[in-house]
Amino acid sequence: MTIQEASEKYNIPIQILREYESWGLCDEVKKVMGSWHYDDRDIEQLSTIMTLHDIGFCHDEIETYMRLLLKGKETEQERMEMLNQKRDGTLKEIHFKERQLDRLDYLRFEIKKKSQGGF
């Protein structure tokens, strides 16, 4: 499957595919007649890359994670730590947003109370 076909079929931006190629992470990608060809293993790895991107990993973190993944089982602890750190950061963001919502609701309550004849 060519880069264009992979991009269209799996809705993966060309930029992500080009980054993937530049990392040289996969032996399975072959250059045939001037274009890259992807197999099922490549698509599976690209799916992981897109998931990491969607959960907020930056370019360098994705590359690091994928290199660890390719090393196999011996890197499970490192990968788990990366995921735990991202999860902890996401929870902190959620809690911060919850506090913001509480403050917004308080201000809305105060406006409603005043408009209904309250002090």
Residues 43-102 have pLDDT tens digits of 888 889 889 989 999 989 998 999 999 899 999 999 999 999 999 999 999 999 999 999
The pLDDT of residue 31 is 59
pTM comes to 0.72
**Sign of the torsion formed by the C-alpha atoms of 92, 96, 97 and 102:** positive
Which residues are CB-neighbours of 18 under 8 A, at least 6 positions away? 3
Intra-chain end-to-end CA distance of the chain, in Å: 69
Identify the DSSP state of 37.
Answer: E
Pick the CATH number of 1-71 from 3.40.50.620, 1.10.150.530, 3.60.21.10, 1.10.1660.10: 1.10.1660.10
Higher pLDDT, 2 or 87: 87
Average pLDDT over every residue of 3-31: 74
- 54 three-class SS: helix
